[in-house]
Amino acid sequence: MAGKEVVILGVGMTKFGRITGRNPQEMAREAGLMALKDAGVDYKDIEIGFCAHCNQPLGAGTDSFAELGMTGIPVTNVELACASQSRGVMLAADVIAAGVYDLAMVIGLEKMPRGMVPILGDPADMPYAFAMGIMPMPGAYAMMAQRHMHTYGTKREHFAKAAEKAHRNGSLNPNATYRDVYTLEEVLNARMIADPITLYMCSANADGATATVICSKEKAKKYTTKPVLLVGWAGGTPVYERGGGGLVEGPTEMLGEKVYHMSGLGPDDVDVMQVHDAFSPGELFTVEELGFCPKGEGGPFIWEGNTEINGKIPVNTDGGLVSCGHPIGATGGRMIGELSWQLRGMAGERQVKDAKVALLHNQGLGGTNVMMFKM
Amino acid sequence: MATGEGKKKLPVKEGLFKVPTDGEKGHLIGSKCKKCGEHFYPKRAVCPNCYSQEMEEVALGTRGKIYTYTIARTSYPGTPLTAPFITGQVELPEKVQALSLITDIDFEAVKIGTDVELYFWKVREDEEGNEVMAFAFRPVSA
């Protein structure tokens, strides 16, 4: 890996909650102060900031950081839909690896409006799919799920199992929005949103904020003797594919390869993982795309319990998007937080035994990010 | 309101499809790269395959196969469709896919691979009495 080594020095998050109407800057402050405390860092030492959000007004980044202090640092807003916060952390990692800065902070925040996510811009420019209502968000995942069932014989029960596990893990997470547990039957028989995705396989909008303090490994020595290293990261946008349907949000497989190459670690080395489960079929597709099981076998892989907390490769130990809820700009920070706690042995009831290497996959309407952490 | 006088068929969104007129069936509008021959839908100005900017507008084939689909159970406020309805990706002969409403087939009968053909339907009338049209696919009539 070229450049300086990068460390995740501190993490913080507010409880996620369903449209609580909490003031965004209060949430940002809460998460920010938590991450600074976790890192043992004074705000005045932060050299650069990124603020990840999708629905906040102009100036949200500056206003959020101003809650913590006014030191004149550059603060830049990052929007990559659901993958905003992880991209913010990657941008911070880029500038630290390049030796331009040593200490950075990323705040992810979202206060969700009621109802449908508004798409900004002139209605006349609105894509046909949105104007006609033919691509509801579960739509893309649902269509990919149908295709997966057709091509590989994947069953609805496989998708439902991922959701059942998500809710069960979420019940162990005090920060999750939804902490009810459901049986497999309850997941399958819940209200159908877009076939085969039922209500309990969907993540729902939530309010919340997360924060991450990132540091060069050199400077991190001042704060900790046991840093969480960020050993690989890669982000991307969809790649043109002849005859492709445009359903894919990013080149997950290619990014996985890049991160494995950059970190010198592979799927066999990974002890715990976070993947983007905006809808439960996402977990299936991603474990395949990142090389944890052969293409097409994601269904049985999950069905057999391999992604349970005590399984071969625990996925979404905190309940994932489905249980935690989805404050769009902040979700990446939740993933980083959970993986950081796992590696540091701080995950309580959700703790994966001897977790030393963690992989993150965060994806949205705008791109995909993959990150590898090692303790 | 005068019958037929000045009443036109207009697309609900410009540039995506050509509505049927007297003697013409109507079609989806795609692009073909003059340099490498690849097709795209919707239209594009730059070829993502070879980066040429020499793209020509083409009428895409009106018959295709369902590549994938789902049954949408949620209606979106402010949109013209009421759930439940079938929405899916239709693969056209030029190997491009179009996202479309799919109709005239039972939810239990719709399958990946079903042969479908393009048609147009009226979404609403505008203030001048013109018909605002959208497209959809339905099973090929034998």
Q: How do residues A275-291 score in pLDDT, each as one tens digit? A: 999 999 999 999 999 99
CA closest to B87 among chain A residues: A134
- Specify the range with the lowest mean pLDDT, choosing from A24-33, A183-192, A304-313, B123-132: B123-132
Percent of chain A past pLDDT 70, that is, above it, reads 96
CA closest to B82 among chain A residues: A133
Task: Identify the pLDDT of residue A365.
Answer: 85
A114 touches chain B (CB under 8 A): no
A140 within domain boundaries: no
A234 within domain boundaries: yes
Number of domains chain B is built from: 1
B77 touches chain A (CB under 8 A): yes
Test A150 with B112 for CB contact under 8 angstroms.
Answer: yes
Task: Identify the pLDDT of residue B1.
Answer: 43
B2 within domain boundaries: no
**Domain of residue B133, residue span:** 9-139
Distance of CA A40 to the CA centre of its chain: 24
A170 within domain boundaries: no
Q: How distant, in Å, are the alpha carbons of A18, A33, A135 from that of A206? A: 4, 21, 21
A146 touches chain B (CB under 8 A): yes
pLDDT tens-digit readout, B84-96: 999 999 999 999 9
Residue of B72, B95, B107 lying closest to A139 (CB–CB): B72
Pairing between β-strand A6-13 and β-strand A208-216 as defined by DSSP bridges? antiparallel
B94 within domain boundaries: yes
CA-closest candidate to residue A215, choices A360, A334, A98, A93:
A93
Test A132 with B79 for CB contact under 8 angstroms.
Answer: yes
B chain contacts of residue A136, beta-carbon cutoff 8 Å = 72, 74, 76, 87
> What is chain B's Cα-based Rg?
17
Cα–Cα dist A237/B50, whole Å: 18
**Max CA pair span of chain A:** 57
pLDDT tens-digit readout, B36-86: 999 999 999 999 999 999 999 999 999 999 999 999 998 777 788 999 999
Cα–Cα dist A238/A254, whole Å: 10
A231 within domain boundaries: yes
Number of domains chain A is built from: 1
**Domain of residue A252, residue span:** 6-113+203-374
What tokens appear for A334 in the block? Answer: 């939740």
ipTM over 0.85: yes
B132 within domain boundaries: yes
Size of interface A-B (CB pairs under 8 A): 95
Mind telling me how many Å the CA of A138 is from chain B's nearest CA?
9
What is the set of active-site residues of A?
82, 326
Mind telling me how many Å the CA of B102 is from chain A's nearest CA?
10
The answer to whether residues A34 and A208 touch, using CB atoms and an 8 Å cutoff, is no
B31 touches chain A (CB under 8 A): no
Does position A158 have pLDDT exceeding 50, yes or no?
A: yes
Mind telling me how many Å the CA of A359 is from chain B's nearest CA?
31
**Which residue is associated with the tokens 């990261």?**
A233
The answer to whether residues A354 and A312 touch, using CB atoms and an 8 Å cutoff, is no
Q: How confident is the model at residue A241 (pLDDT cuts 50, 70, 90)?
A: confident
A188 within domain boundaries: no
CA-closest candidate to residue A365, choices A326, A317, A335:
A326
The answer to whether residues A281 and A197 touch, using CB atoms and an 8 Å cutoff, is yes
The answer to whether residues B34 and B70 touch, using CB atoms and an 8 Å cutoff, is no
B132 touches chain A (CB under 8 A): no
Read off the CATH number of the domain in which A27 is found.
3.40.47.10
A chain contacts of residue B89, beta-carbon cutoff 8 Å = 143, 245, 247
A318: exposed, middle or buried (Cβ count in 10 Å: 0-12, 13-18, 19+): buried
User: What pTM, to 2 d.p., does this model score?
Assistant: 0.94
A138 touches chain B (CB under 8 A): yes
Q: DSSP alpha helices (H): ranges in A23-172?
A: 24-39, 60-66, 84-97, 128-132, 137-152, 156-170
A87 within domain boundaries: yes
CA-closest candidate to residue B84, choices A144, A185, A139, A226:
A139
A123 touches chain B (CB under 8 A): no
B3 within domain boundaries: no
Determine the 3-state secondary structure of A220 from DSSP: helix
A177 within domain boundaries: no
Residue ranges of E strands in A189-300: 192-194, 197-198, 208-216, 228-236, 272-274
Pairing between β-strand B97-102 and β-strand B85-91 as defined by DSSP bridges? antiparallel
Pairing between β-strand A103-110 and β-strand B115-125 as defined by DSSP bridges? unpaired
